[in-house]
Structure 1
């Protein structure tokens, strides 16, 4: 299967929510919510460039492709990308250090979620400011990877402990169902909230998050959008926030064999909802900075196969 056919198949699958996520990332609902929130904060110019780069199957909707990187077909075709969805931190250290932590399982530097965010930001910026670079990258892939990984870095257990692989090795029960702790944070908390509080309609949850951003969290939005020293992208603080939240909330009272029920769900849901909101606002702010002075990008940058690490 060629890349264009792969992208078409993957895009259609995403648009119609026929995803095979296997417990990766936030799960389709989380990534969709983050990118739907981001759409509302994109500048006019950023929205124009984003729509130009999206595959036709997305029908102009960024949220339709935000789970693309989790598709089984994509992970199989681009096996090298698997290490880019997370970063493991030393057990019980509860802090993140790029030079110490950002590497894959065989020690290759910068192969982690924050390194990937830097890389795909650079690819998109390079295409804006140096048109010749369009021929080096597939910019559609770069946009989809970046949008996905900005979401991933906001999931606390994507910056969890090395010893349990971000909670994947902690087997427990979510109410009556067997699960692992990582999957609880990827999917179960969100899906349970959608069912119990939002009429089994994800759009209702997204609308509630959008209201919280404009009302209850309005005083925080500007700080969420900022990057220190006027940088274009700043994923390291997001990873630091995530591992801190993992220590304070995700791992606490979630030991192997335990049963997580209402107490855990109701106390952790506000953390999850705030991280979804932050992820959306920050993704939009990052894309706005990348495309601030960027004209339309030619189709040349969409035809090169493989958005590999620079």
Structure 2
């Protein structure tokens, strides 16, 4: 028993170190949902672009499938000297106790919402090289996932809850951000019935894939308020005085949050599918594609 508990704590400590949204399993699941729901023409174009992965010059960070490409921007943390300028693109947090502002915390386009639009435009431009467009595809797939992670949009001036020490049930040693990024999300994915990765009906896609990028950020910010309320047992996390900097993410909170995590992951996947269809599902307007 002691060795089993020690192993669990070691894994939690390892996972909690970087602030990465959804971790590998979550990002790859969002990408898999997208791939299962794009149009055939879009899927064909995706496979064509993904064959350019060697041109990215990141052999330690594969991008030969959409699932791998969706995690590629987090894998780049291994080469901070080369890619550190991209790290602020993963989030756009704003305090849950202040009004939501979709343009806040985005100086010079260094935020997740601006980078979704920037990389969408690069991906859609068939005059550019395959390598440039594949890089944009990887960033786009990842950032659509990031903006659906609540604690990348809302916080309590604590680094997206990275500054909130938290136990996951009886297992200590993590923080609230890491728990929601990984442990909560992975349980939501692995316990889903039916599986999250599947072809969704037209009605499901219509109901879950809509909204603007600003809408997606607002939804995450609103859910972040709920996460803080559950974490600290408050109906309103913005009343009753300052929140502590440590808590327990209880079994009740875990169970309550599973539907929320599943919905955000599915929404991320179906919205990514919609964006990819819009960017890639149409034939080139003129000329030959570059690359």
With the shorter chain as reference, the TM-score category is 0.7 to 0.9
Displacement of 1:94? 5.5
Aligned match of 2:25? 29
Partner of 2:111: 112
Cα distance in 2, alignment partners of residues 212 and 294 from structure 1? 24
> What corresponds to 1:145 in structure 2?
139
1:260 to 228, 231, 249: 249
Q: Which runs of 5+ in 2 are unaligned?
A: 1-14, 233-243
Q: CA deviation at 1:207?
A: 5.6
- After TM superposition, the score normalised by the length of structure 1 is 0.73
Aligned partners of 1:271 and 1:30: how far apart in 2?
A: 14
Specify the alignment match of 2:151 in structure 1: 157
Shift, 1:135, TM fit: 5.2
Helix, strand or coil for the counterpart of 1:172?
strand
Cα separation, partners in 2 of 1:269 and 1:170, compared to 1, 3 Å: same
**8 Å Cα contact 2:49/2:130 also seen in 1:** no
Q: Which residue of 2 aligns with 1:221?
A: 205
Q: Name the TM-score, length of structure 2 as normaliser.
A: 0.77
Point out the more displaced range, 85-94 or 174-183. 85-94
Structure 2 CA distance, aligned partners of 1:183 and 1:251? 17
1:1-310 residue pairs with structure 2 within 5 A?
A: 22-54=18-50, 55=53, 61-71=65-75, 72-93=77-98, 95=100, 97-99=101-103, 101-103=104-106, 108-125=107-124, 127-128=125-126, 131=127, 134=128, 138-161=132-155, 163-175=157-169, 176-193=171-188, 198=191, 205=192, 208-210=195-197, 213-214=200-201, 219-227=203-211, 234-254=212-232, 255-295=244-284, 298=289, 300=291
Write out per-residue CA displacement over residues 126-161 of structure 1, whole angstroms, 9 at most, x where no aligned residue. x23xx2xx1597111100000000000000001022
Structure 1 contact 164–170 (Cα < 8 Å) conserved: yes
Q: How many residues align?
A: 254
Is the alpha carbon distance of 1:137 and 1:40 closer, same or farther for their aligned partners in structure 2, counting shifts above 3 Å?
A: closer
What are the ranges of 5 or more consecutive residues in structure 1 without an aligned counterpart?
Answer: 1-18, 199-204, 228-233, 301-310
RMSD: 2.9
Residues 19-53 of structure 1, C-alpha deviation per residue, up to 9 Å, x if partnerless? Answer: 99824111001001100110111111111111111
Query: Separation in 1 of the partners of 2:207 and 2:139?
Result: 24
1:287 is paired with a residue whose SS is helix
Q: Deviations over 1:84-118 (max 9, x none)?
A: 000021341262x233x142xxxx23210000001
Aligned mates of 1:240, 1:269 — CA distance in 2? 20
Q: Secondary structure at the match of 1:294?
A: coil
